[in-house]
Structure 1
Amino acid sequence: MTSPRLCIESPSLRIVSRRRAWALRIAVVGGWGVSMALLTAYAPDLTGIYGTALTFLCLALLVGSLRGGPTAGAARRGQPGAVTADGGALYVQIGGRTRTIARGDIVAGWTEEGRGHGRVMLQIRTGEVVAADVTGAADGHALLEALGVAPEQRAVAVQLGSPHPPARRFVLALVGLVSLAVAAPSAVLSAALATVVLGGNDYWLGSLALMGALSVISSVGAWCCLRPLVGTTLRIGTDGLSIRRLLRRRFVPRAGIARVGVRGAALVVERRSGGPVVVMTSGAEEAAALARRVADALAGRAAAAPAETLTALDRAGRPLAEWKHAIIALLQESTGYRRAGIAADDLFSVVEDGAARPERRVAAAAALASSGGPAAQARVRAAVEACVSTKLRIAMLRAADGEIDEGALAAAEEEAMRRA
């Protein structure tokens, strides 16, 4: 289904490129290579000392730049122009030039509040961001909806900026790398000395204690300095929030969120039970932009379905085959989309409700996918794209194909119950 043509005039339009950061990193590596070559050629006796120092400085510059400025909430000034969503493409007109961006290359979008105006942010697969000021929230949502990246259509993943300025990131990276370089050999030497001491040679006991303490102190220093430089990715969907940092992922379900606010540079997620979840951002502007996106995603909840619809979708201990047959029979063309007082709109309200139980969302999705036709399947898949829970996405994708994966559904139910 093709969205109608939509053209919005913007007083400030800009395409923000992320290539500059990579150009600077390539320049740092190139400068290191040239400097090392000059040292080797003209001062070989100093290569060891100055070469090591230069290597640590360049590595600190690279590590400190990995988590840079924010994408959300950053102030951007552009030129007057227009953005047009037409068919499968977005046309960006700035200064007499037009750039065409395929709709499939737009991976995320959100709205922000500016001074007296709104702003639409569109993230492209290449890493570039289109920032367009609009007159009101209605225009911004209409553009996102036309491109298929509105809060109710697709979840958004935002790489959060660092709350530390560039100079501090450089210092943290430098101290952390030096500490890491001390921790690794001291740990190896401590292990070797421990083997000797355990073998009965107490002469090396003092050296073991010294190297062990040095290993522990340098390891703690490396952790404390490098940890703030690790990036955080926040995914926002209609079913909740997903916070990923390193190998740790934390999912906060929609049903467990009471409200979302901003406290300084932190996004604060108040839960119905348990303490708040605090996510540090680069500043108050980024935190406010993310809070707005979270509010938009959680507000895009369909009206509650009637109680009889919810009861009919429950498995209630029935065997899988019997349950699947019953829910598919809810929507048969011969009944005119009605059966036992259940309408297609009621099922859609369950599928699109981020706070509904996974079992009910999967059952409603399977019923619509099996009997609702291509339009219903497309709408179900849009609801899937708006989810951030990987387990729920898998279960609903199976249901969108008309199948119910018992294992995937059980995993989604277990995650929802555990996180609630």
Structure 2
Amino acid sequence: MAEPLRMEVGRVAPKALYMGLGLALWGLVIPLLLAGILVAPPIAFGVVHCVLFGAMARRYGQRSTRGAKVTPGTLVITDTAVEHAGERLALRSELQQGTVVPGADGILVRLDRRSRHSTPIHLRVGSEADGLAILRKLGLDADHTAAELRIASRFMGMPFGRQMALMMPPLVLMMVSAVGVASALPHAGAPIILLMVAALFAYVFSLVFTPTKLRIGTDGLITRWLGKERFIPFATIRAFEVYTSVIAGKTQHGVKLALERGEEVLLPTGQTDIGVSEAQGLAARIAEAQQSGKSGNAASTTLLRGGRPAKDWLRALRAAGEQVQDLRTPAIPQEVLLRLVEDASADEAARIGAAIAATNAADAETKQRLRVAAEVSASPKLRVALDRIAEGASEDQLAEVLDDIDPPQTAATGR
């Protein structure tokens, strides 16, 4: 049994007023529905407002830490649970991820539960080092797991002109279509027009409120929004910073990525103080993941394809792992192979080659390190490949993995 971590921290309480307001608004849903059915149908439209604003109030109460009550006490992290001042806050199995959030009010650690709608745990710590120590003890730091975040809609980070380009064409089309339907069906067109208006509202709602899903690994980050996915390797990020901007009269917060060739990518986090703290936490996690990925191992040319067919490449990797090298090629120690797998700055093909070479040992520690490397990766292709290697894929499956990570038509360049 490992020694528990003990640390003096402050627990930040959720804002009960806002959470109570959210529940009160939700409590009005059934009365409004009944009133709409029994008294006047327009009253039922209030249901939408109660559900939406109730959810917003509850989320604010759960996540806002500005001016919240802080209770000092001793934090104790054991092998099974997290406790504060003698009260159990959560089982370790209930926690999904953690983030260190530096801000004007001090350094916070936010621990998110696996249930997305549960209230996160906020702890105020003395320093960023203390926060990272908590994450390491829980196995939630960048070395052990990738962060899965939900931030504001990508739409909120777009320039005003781009927003209008997405909003106006459907609006104009709906108005023109409504006029046409009203002219063609003067007495029976109302239901069709209502359906068109509802479809327009659904479109606008999806643009504004669909969150951007973000995964931050040690090799980069991947964004997903409305079916669109993009992987941004850390090697292409020249700089990043927390930003505050005014778009369409609204103050937006987030993180700005400056990429190669002058491209900028905005990761919006919101408009309130929650947006500020989440932007700071997002920037801190990106910095932590970048630092974690810089292990400094150089890729051995022995592990690269070098124009070889997949089967020949696979045999060379097996030989490297078995320490069977010719007189001009030094053997590659097992630890060097595993460090290369874990080096997020290394070439993906070299990392996969090192993983295959390392699996000749077939011990539990090697497989576990491969699984951890897959878990902390943001690259979908690399993550799937490492998982398959750790699970003991067949020779034919490994050849497919090699062709996928370094296709034959590009292999001649030697990468």
Q: Mark yes or no: TM-score above 0.5.
A: yes
Shift of 1:395: 0.8
Contact 1:67–1:230 (8 Å) recurs in 2 = no
**How far apart, CA to CA, are the structure 1 residues paired with 2:76 and 2:385?**
35
In the alignment, which residue of structure 2 is the partner of 1:93? Answer: 84
Secondary structure at the counterpart of residue 244 of structure 1:
strand
Counterpart of 2:361 (choices 366, 371, 376) is 371
Secondary structure at the counterpart of residue 342 of structure 1:
coil
What value does the CA root-mean-square deviation take over the aligned residues? 4.3
**How far apart, CA to CA, are the structure 2 residues paired with 1:408 and 1:357?**
15
Secondary structure at the counterpart of residue 320 of structure 2:
coil
In the alignment, which residue of structure 1 is the partner of 2:266? Answer: 278
C-alpha distance 16-372 of structure 1, shift in aligned 2 (>3 A): farther
**How far apart, CA to CA, are the structure 2 residues paired with 1:132 and 1:63?**
24
Shift of 1:57: 3.6
- How many residues are paired up? 371
In the alignment, which residue of structure 2 is the partner of 1:50? Answer: 43
**How far apart, CA to CA, are the structure 1 residues paired with 2:389 and 2:70?**
44
Contact 1:365–1:396 (8 Å) recurs in 2 = yes
Unaligned runs of 5+ in 2: 156-166, 245-252, 411-415
Which structure 2 residues correspond to residues 134-173 of structure 1 after superposition, within 5 A?
134-160=125-151
Secondary structure at the counterpart of residue 317 of structure 1:
coil
- Residue identity opposite 1:340 in structure 2: P
**How far apart, CA to CA, are the structure 2 residues paired with 1:36 and 1:72?**
31
**How far apart, CA to CA, are the structure 2 residues paired with 1:370 and 1:147?**
31
Which structure 2 residues correspond to residues 4-403 of structure 1 after superposition, within 5 A?
4-14=2-12, 16=14, 27-28=24-25, 30-38=27-35, 40-41=37-38, 43=39, 47-51=40-44, 53-58=45-50, 60-61=52-53, 71=63, 77-87=69-79, 89-94=80-85, 96-101=86-91, 103-115=92-104, 117-126=106-115, 127-160=118-151, 187=177, 190=180, 223=203, 227-264=207-244, 265-282=253-270, 283-306=275-298, 309-332=299-322, 340-371=330-361, 373-403=363-393
Shift of 1:252: 0.9
- Residue identity opposite 2:8 in structure 1: S
Contact 2:147–2:217 (8 Å) recurs in 1 = yes
C-alpha distance 285-75 of structure 1, shift in aligned 2 (>3 A): farther
In the alignment, which residue of structure 1 is the partner of 2:248? Answer: none
In the alignment, which residue of structure 2 is the partner of 1:198? Answer: none
**How far apart, CA to CA, are the structure 2 residues paired with 1:341 and 1:288?**
45
Secondary structure at the counterpart of residue 28 of structure 2:
helix
Shift of 1:73: 8.0
**How far apart, CA to CA, are the structure 2 residues paired with 1:17 and 1:369?**
50
Contact 2:178–2:193 (8 Å) recurs in 1 = no
Shift of 1:271: 0.9
C-alpha distance 32-305 of structure 1, shift in aligned 2 (>3 A): closer
Deviation by residue 1:303-331 (Cα, 9 ceiling, x = unmatched): 3324xx52011122323333223223323
Secondary structure at the counterpart of residue 29 of structure 2:
helix
TM-score by length of 2: 0.73
Contact 1:302–1:349 (8 Å) recurs in 2 = no
Shift of 1:114: 4.2
User: Among the aligned pairs, what percent are the same residue?
Assistant: 24
C-alpha distance 33-119 of structure 1, shift in aligned 2 (>3 A): closer
Unaligned runs of 5+ in 1: 165-175, 194-202
Deviation by residue 1:355-382 (Cα, 9 ceiling, x = unmatched): 3222111111122233262222212211
Shift of 1:412: 5.0
**How far apart, CA to CA, are the structure 1 residues paired with 2:130 and 2:4?**
10
Deviation by residue 1:228-265 (Cα, 9 ceiling, x = unmatched): 22222222111111122222222211221112112211
